[in-house]
Amino acid sequence: MTDLSGVGSTPLSGVGTARWYRPGTLELPDRPDPGSVDPEAERARFEEARDEARAGIERAREQAADRVGEDEAAVFEAHAQFLDDPQLVGDIEDAIAEETTAEHAVADRFADAIEQFEAMDGRMAERADDLRDVRDRLLRALLDVDIIDLADLPAGTVLLAERLTPSDTAGLDPDAVAAVATVTGGRTSHAAIIARSLAIPAVVGVGEALHDVPEGAAVLVDGEAGRVVVDPTDDQRAGAGGVDAPVVEGRVSTADGREIEVAANVGSRAELDPASARGADGVGLFRTEFLFLDREGPPDEDEQYEAVTAALSAFPDDRVVVRTLDVGGDKSVPYFDTPEETNPFLGQRGIRLSLAAHGNLFETQLRALLRAGAGEDGDGLAVMFPLVSQVEEVEAALARVESVAAGLASEGVDHAVPQMGAMVETPAATDVADALAERLDFLSIGTNDLTQYVMAADRENDAVADCHDPLHPAVLRAIDRTVSAAEGTDAWVGMCGEMAGDPALTELLVGLGLDELSMSAVTVLAVKERVTGTDTAEARELADAALACETREEVRVVLGLE
Ligand code: PEP
Ligand code: MG
């Protein structure tokens, strides 16, 4: 039995069969000596590889059509056409006839074609990625490298990977994936957040030792304790998996009667029903960017309207806070054609990107939102802007809302302007929180980014995980500054960073004065239970004691976590 430790990310455990995801391991063998290659045999290998690639592309097309729609699935038709492109196929066959192995012929000729596409502009240049995809399918078939299809894993898979991207994780089927463990990654990386939202048990940042877990091994991933156990005992297996926790129905209040809203963070429609079933009081953060990832172009107004309307009807009596597009940083969207950035987390992220010119990107999203606000359950809609650092950004964004509302009115389209808010995720926003609160209905503190920017510690980098700690007094004081700044205004203040979902911190957060806590649905019950056991005055004393600390260790001692 091997027992490895990492950072527990989704506080659930799961057991299953290890499958490695190794996307970057397509290494070509050395070129054989001329004369030792049999062109006939190589041509046959190439044909077989083409058939295999064709079948794989068709499977991917069907899945995409099922999960995201026919339009988006069309990209795979283009992939299939590359396999029959007379020029490309002819060049590969010519190279094989000149005694090149099939894999080297494919690699060489695709390299030429990729280079040609890359030299073109805009959308043509993007086709180079499609060519790479098709080339890799052929090479996988030729080299017999089994790279698994993340969207189509067998039930009971424990997925092991060096790291996962946000869109890799968003494509996982929670019914098939028993758990995830990765070599790198931090608790607040988007991949970890999505796994948590999908209630997939996860441990991240296990380190190089994870590579020793063999394919096919029985593995237990304990996301509560942060452990990965190979060949677990029967007792350990029995303790893993779905404990059907009771649901606390309805709102909860502290022992002395202060109501705290405990809402869910969601990134897709698939997460709405589980969030409601786990007793969430609405949605405190709907990450709309996942509608925009992994596709050829942005979703149109109607698709966005449908997604928001689905969230509203999943929570007809509650508030649903929809965040406008938050891409940039680790969530890149190739079709935006934005220039490469040296520091993407300090670049054109969040509201900055929406306000910059990208066609009608922002207007289209706002139109969908304002229309949804006038729909059947639209009363509950609230909209917030991500990564705000300046009052001017909020003013500009609100002006866009006004002009979109005026446009809809002139077209005679039903619409309503919902509650408007901003995320507080930058030190600058905490410093101007009073001005933001005066202009908005609410603020929602995003501690994942706030901690990253206050501490200058990359949320994705487990080597600086000690620094990326929301319990550092500097972060606590930034939160306190924000809540205090909104006092005396009508704005409510919530928190939707991962800190909000840690039940061990609920008393502290109530003491800091938050009105709403929003989290992955999996911790809603535990947080609700903590709220009901909290006394507001005692919680404030605890918060004051934590705010007076100088180090994170002192804060932990004050909170009884050491
Ligand atoms: C945050 O930064 O805390 C947040 C909730 O936003 P995201 O994790 O999506 O960046
Ligand atoms: Mg953020």
- Domains assigned to the chain: 2-23+150-243 (3.50.30.10), 39-143 (1.10.274.10), 260-558 (3.20.20.60)
Taking the CA atoms of 309, 314, 317 and 318 in sequence, report the sign of the dihedral they define: negative
Do the beta carbons of residue 384 and residue 494 sit within 8 Å? Answer: no
Please tell me what DSSP assigns to residue 242.
-
CA nearest to 497, candidates 558, 454, 561, 552: 454
Token pair, residue 166, equals 């946000």
What integer pLDDT is reported at residue 63 of this predicted model? 65
pLDDT number for residue 137? 86
Which of 413-417, 425-429, 558-562 is predicted least confidently? 558-562
**Whose CA is closest to 298, among 204, 206, 361?**
361
CB 440 within 8 A of CB 489: no
pLDDT digits (tens, 9 = 90+) for 263-306: 999 988 878 888 999 999 999 999 999 888 877 789 999 999 99
* Phi-psi domain of 216 (left: phi exceeds 0; alpha: psi -120 through 50; beta: other): left
- CB crowding 117-141: b at 16 or more within 10 Å, else e: beeeeeeeebbbebbebbbbbbbbb
Best mutation site among 449, 450, 495, 514 for ligand 1 pocket (most ligand atoms within 8 Å of CB): 449
- 506 DSSP β-pair partners: none
Task: State the closest ligand 1 atom to the C-alpha of 444, by its place in the atom list counted from 1.
Answer: 5
CA of 517 to the centre of ligand 2 (A): 15
Phi/psi-derived region of residue 295, left when phi > 0, alpha when psi is between -120 and 50, beta in every other case: beta
Does ligand 1 lie within 6 Å of residue 349's CB atom? no
**Residue 468, token pair as written in the block:** 């990326």
Q: What are 266's strand-pairing partners?
A: 286
What are the E-state strand segments in 12-154?
A: 13-21
Q: Which two tokens stand for residue 152?
A: 């189509």
- Give the pLDDT band of residue 38 (cuts 50, 70, 90): very high
Catalytic residue numbers, as ranges: 190, 496
How many Å lie between the centroid of ligand 2 and the Cα of residue 6? 23
Find the range with the poorest average confidence among 179-193, 409-423, 479-493. 179-193
Confidence of residue 150 (pLDDT cuts 50, 70, 90): confident
Does the beta carbon of 452 sit less than 6 angstroms from any atom of ligand 1? no
Q: Whose CA is nearest to atom 6 of ligand 1?
A: 446
**Residue 66 pLDDT > 70, yes or no?**
no
User: Does 328 contact ligand 1 (Cβ within 6 A)?
Assistant: no
- The Å distance, Cα 256 to ligand 2 centre, comes to 32
Measured in Å, residue 455 CA sits from the centre of ligand 2 at: 14
**421 Cα: distance to centroid of ligand 2 (angstroms):** 14
Q: Is the pLDDT of residue 528 over 70?
A: yes
Furthest CA-CA distance within the chain: 86
Please give the Cα distance from 450 to 423 (Å, whole number). 10
Q: Is ligand 1 within 6 A of the CB of residue 227?
A: no
Please report how many Cα atoms fall inside a 13 Å half-sphere around the Cα of residue 366, on the Cβ side.
24
Considering only CA atoms, which residue is closest to atom 4 of ligand 1?
A: 446
Structure tokens at 439: 């202009």
Q: What percent of the chain has pLDDT over 70?
A: 95
Ligand 1 pocket member 446 (CB < 6 A): yes
Buried b or exposed e, range 199-237, using 16+ CB within 10 angstroms? bbbbbbbbeeebeebeeeeebbbbbeebbbbbebeeebe
Report the DSSP beta bridge partners of residue 384: 323, 421
Considering only residues 118 and 196, tell me which one the structure prediction assigns the higher pLDDT. 196
Q: Given a cut of 60, is residue 127 above it in pLDDT? A: yes
Confidence of residue 181 (pLDDT cuts 50, 70, 90): very high
Relative to beta strand 157-161, strand 177-182 is parallel
